Amino acid sequence: MPKRVLIVDDENDIRDIVQAALEELAGWQTLGAASSQEGLQIAQQSAIDAILLDISIPDMDGFEIYQQLQSHPATQHIPVIVLTSKVLARDRDRFTALQVAGLITKPFNPLTYPC
The C-alpha angle with vertex 48 and arms to 45 and 49, in degrees rounded to 5, equals 160
Question: Would you place residue 98 in the very low, low, confident or very high pLDDT band (cuts 50, 70, 90)?
Answer: confident
In the prediction, which pLDDT does 32 show?
Answer: 96
In the prediction, which pLDDT does 53 show?
Answer: 93
Among the four given CATH numbers 3.30.420.140, 3.40.50.2300, 3.20.20.150, 3.40.50.10490, the one describing domain 4-112: 3.40.50.2300
A 10 A CB-CB count for 43 gives: 23
> Per residue in 11-52, pLDDT tens?
999 899 889 988 988 899 999 999 999 999 999 999 999 999
Q: What is the largest CA-CA distance in the chain?
A: 38
In the prediction, which pLDDT does 111 show?
Answer: 56
Contacts of 29 (CB under 8 A, 6+ apart): 2, 3, 4, 5, 23
